[in-house]
Amino acid sequence: MAERLARFIQDHFIRDRRLNATRLVAGSFAVIILVGTLLLSLPVATRSGESAGFFNAFFTATSATCVTGLVTVDTCITWSVFGQAVILLMIQLGGLGFMTVITLISLAAHRRIGLSERLIIMSTLNLNDLDGVVRVVRHALMGTAIFELAGALLLSIRMIPRFGFFRGLWHALFHSVSAFCNAGFDLQGLDTGPFSSLSGFADDPIVLLTTSALVIIGGVGFFVWEDICKNRSWKKLTRYSKLVLGITAFLLVGGTVFFLGSEWSNPATLGPMSMGEKGLNAFFQSVTLRTAGFNVIDQGAMTDNSIVMSCILMLIGGSSGSTAGGMKTVTVWVLFMVVLNSLRGRESIVYRGRTLPLRRAMNAITLFLMVSFLFLAGSMLISLTHEATFLQAAYETASALGTVGLTTGITPHLARPAQVLLAVLMYTGRVGILSVSIAFVNQKQGSLDIKYPEFPIMIG
Would you list the DSSP string of 360-408?
HHHHHHHHHHHHHHHHHHHHHHHHHHSS--HHHHHHHHHHHHTT----S
420: phi then psi, degrees, rounded to nearest 5? -60, -40
- Contact predicate 346/319, CB 8 Å: no
Helix (H) or strand (E) holding 442: none
Q: For strands 349-351 and 354-356, give the pairing.
A: antiparallel
Q: Is 75 exposed, middle or buried (0-12, 13-18, 19+ CB in 10 A)?
A: buried
- Contact predicate 140/222, CB 8 Å: yes
Q: How many CB atoms lie within 10 A of CB 429?
A: 29
As a whole number of angstroms, the distance between CA 395 and CA 375 comes to 9
Q: Which residues contact 197 (CB under 8 A, 6 or more apart)?
A: 184, 186, 188, 294, 295, 296
For the chain, 460 residues long, give each residue's pLDDT as a single digit of tens. 445 544 554 554 444 444 556 677 778 889 899 999 999 999 999 999 999 999 999 999 999 999 999 999 999 999 999 999 999 999 998 888 755 666 665 655 556 666 556 655 655 555 555 566 667 777 788 888 999 999 999 999 999 999 999 999 999 999 999 999 999 999 999 999 899 999 999 999 999 999 999 999 988 887 888 888 888 888 889 888 899 999 999 999 999 999 999 999 999 999 999 999 999 999 999 999 988 889 999 999 999 999 999 999 999 998 877 778 888 898 999 999 999 888 888 878 888 878 888 888 888 898 899 999 999 999 999 998 887 889 999 999 999 999 999 999 899 999 999 999 999 999 998 887 656 655 544 445 444 567 778 777 766 6
Helix (H) or strand (E) holding 27: helix 21-40
As a whole number of angstroms, the distance between CA 194 and CA 192 comes to 7
Helix axes 165-180, 81-96, angle to 10 degrees: 30
Q: Chain-centre distance of CA 228, in angstroms?
A: 22
Per-residue pLDDT tens digits for 431-447: 876 566 555 444 454 44
Q: Chain-centre distance of CA 84, in angstroms?
A: 19
As a whole number of angstroms, the distance between CA 81 and CA 84 comes to 5
Q: Which amino acid is at 199?
A: S
DSSP one-letter code for 444: -
Helix (H) or strand (E) holding 355: strand 354-356
